[in-house]
Amino acid sequence: MTRPLAVAGLWIGAAALVVACAPSRLDSRSGGDGSHAGVVTKEAQAAMTPSQVFADLRAGNARFVDGNLTNYDFSAQVRATASGQFPKAVVLSCLDSRVPPEIIFDQGIGDIFVGRVAGNFENVDMLGSMEFATAAAGSKLIVILGHSACGAVKGAADGVELGNLTVMLDNFDSALATAKRTTSGPYNAGNTAYVDAAIEANVRQTMADVLSRSSVIKDQVDAGKVMVVGGVYDLATGRVSWIDA
Ligand SMILES: [Zn+2]
């Protein structure tokens, strides 16, 4: 999936690729051909602060938007991570095929945990996964990532009923109610302002729920070991707009 952009990057020349690999990355190490073969080590992960990891992902999204993706040596990264992983962050994102977190944050193998469910809401399984990622595996940042024109939120806005989806869409009731207080009708999926407000409200709700429903995560946040951030990815531009950042 990265090929078109990676090819575009090659046109810039080897010097640009070395730059893409080097200064903005926390775990920068380049192969002889300018490819990025490094992975996050236990020591590197331990040395990172939550703010540094957040800056790293923001820089990665900027590279993605600019068509300046890192030239990862995935085979080398597979070999380097076979015996362990020390990811920097855990991202909870939507199922949507157009929002692959590793690509839009320009991350390699072993860099980030990713949990995905339509509409990027938390539940006990996602909370347990985020607790593992942070308290057990050492990740420093939790990212709740929504996106524009989210089909799950739009489906909830229209009251779609289909098998198990009917119950799943109940997860967005609170976000839809919040959006109704700040936008005017009609309250359906065709109202972009309403849907946009619900998408942001859903990210904010999920951020709050993570802290209120997981004492494991709340304690790490209070101790400054972990940070919870939220953003909304724009399908048209590839850019993530961060909430309260
Ligand atoms: Zn979605």
CA 113 to chain centre: 9
pLDDT tens digit sequence for 82-128: 999 999 999 999 999 999 999 999 999 999 999 999 999 999 999 99
Q: How many Å is the maximal CA-CA distance in the chain?
A: 58
Share of the chain above pLDDT 90, in %: 84
Share of the chain above pLDDT 70, in %: 86
**CB-based contact 36:25 (threshold 8 Å):** yes
pLDDT at 15: 35
Residue 192 CA to ligand 1 center (angstroms) comes to 14
> How far, in Å, CA of 111 to CA of 27, rounded?
9
User: Of 133, 146, 92, 144, whose CA–CA distance to 220 is shortest?
Assistant: 133
- Residue 43: what are its φ and ψ, rounded to 5°? -65, -40
pLDDT tens digit sequence for 125-143: 999 999 999 999 999 999 9
Residues surrounding ion ligand 1 at CB below 5 Å: 94, 96, 150, 152
Tell whether pTM > 0.85.
yes
- DSSP result, 52-63: HHHHHHHHHHHH
Residue 116 CA to ligand 1 center (angstroms) comes to 10
pLDDT at 121: 97
Q: What average pLDDT does range 26-37 have in this prediction?
A: 64
pLDDT tens digit sequence for 160-183: 999 999 999 999 999 999 999 999
Residue 240 CA to ligand 1 center (angstroms) comes to 14
Residue 182 CA to ligand 1 center (angstroms) comes to 21
pLDDT tens digit sequence for 67-79: 999 999 999 999 9
Distances (CA, A) of 83 to 41, 67, 86, 112, 120: 11, 32, 11, 16, 30
